[in-house]
Structure formats: C-alpha cells, structure tokens
Amino acid sequence: MQLKPEHVPTGFRVNWMSLIDDDTGVMLWHTNHDYAKLDIKYEAVIPKQALDCKAVTRTIGFTSTHRIDHLKLKHKEFLLGRCVEEWDSKFGTVLANLNETWETTFIPKRGITSSSANILSGNLLIETSFYDGDKLITTIKILMFYE
C-alpha cells in the first residue's frame, strides 16, 4: 500500500539529477526535470555504458520551502515488478529555501553489464521515497531505459 503524504507541507522540489561515472568523472546523464510530483511514473533514457561502470554516483539537487527535521530516503529497485534491491539512508535536517544535494553511489551487481541493457531497459523501475521522520514527502518513480 502506497502511503500518501500526511500533513507534510508541500514545497519539496527536485531541481536536478545526474549520474556520474565514479572512475572517470564523466557525466552520463543529467536532467533539470522536477521528479517530485506524486503518482507519476517518469521515464529516463540512460546510456547503456553506465552499466559497465564499476560505480555510478547519483546526485539529486533539491530544495524545500519548509524545514525538514529528519529527512530520510528509502530506495527500491524493481525488476519486472519484483523488488530486487532496497535500502534506507538518513540525510538529517534540511533548512527552508536552501539548495541541497544528496549523493548516492551505486555499485552494480555482479554480472550486470551493458549486455544486460536489453533485459533491464523498460523493466527496471527505480523508486525513491523521501520522508520527514515517518511522514512521506514524495516518491519518485523512474522507469529506466538504456540505449
């Protein structure tokens, strides 16, 4: 069951997101799209060479018009509708109207390479939920496509 935000003020905005190859520092993907709107499944087209990287860092730039005391993130990856990866992390306090960034480094599972692109493309859903304590702020759902 997907929870709806409970008395969490609106005003949370994703200003941009990027994926960077950790070894080379090359930006693989970047968008200025605000993905922080509930109940929308977005699509992202990522270069398939991202799957060959030893590690990729996702950076999310965001702001909130209201203070968030206990920002935490829940990340889930679904392949063909089945959750194959899940983890939580804590950010802490977010002051109102400040630009913040959150970096997460992803290390691919053994055997995942660009040759897996045809299997993953259109079948991998990344779901990232943002909370203030236990109160849901928003959930970002991005269906991944690899070219």
Taking alpha carbons only, the member of 68, 61, 73, 70 closest to residue 92 is 70
Q: List residues bridging with 139 in a β-sheet.
A: 129
Q: What is the pLDDT of residues 66-107, one digit of tens each?
A: 999 999 999 999 999 999 999 999 999 999 999 999 999 988
The reported pLDDT for the residue numbered 2 is: 46
The tokens of 20 are what? 């960077």
Taking alpha carbons only, the member of 140, 131, 93 closest to residue 5 is 131
Q: What is the pLDDT of residues 4-45, one digit of tens each?
A: 444 455 689 999 999 999 999 999 999 998 887 777 889 999
Say how far apart CA 66 and CA 10 lie, in whole Å. 8
**Other beta carbons within 10 Å of 81:** 7
12-146 has which fold? Answer: Coagulation Factor XIII; Chain A, domain 1 (2.70.50)
- Using DSSP's 3-state secondary structure scheme, residue 74 falls into strand
- Using DSSP's 3-state secondary structure scheme, residue 94 falls into strand
The reported pLDDT for the residue numbered 1 is: 42
The reported pLDDT for the residue numbered 10 is: 67
Domains of the chain: which residue ranges? Answer: 12-146
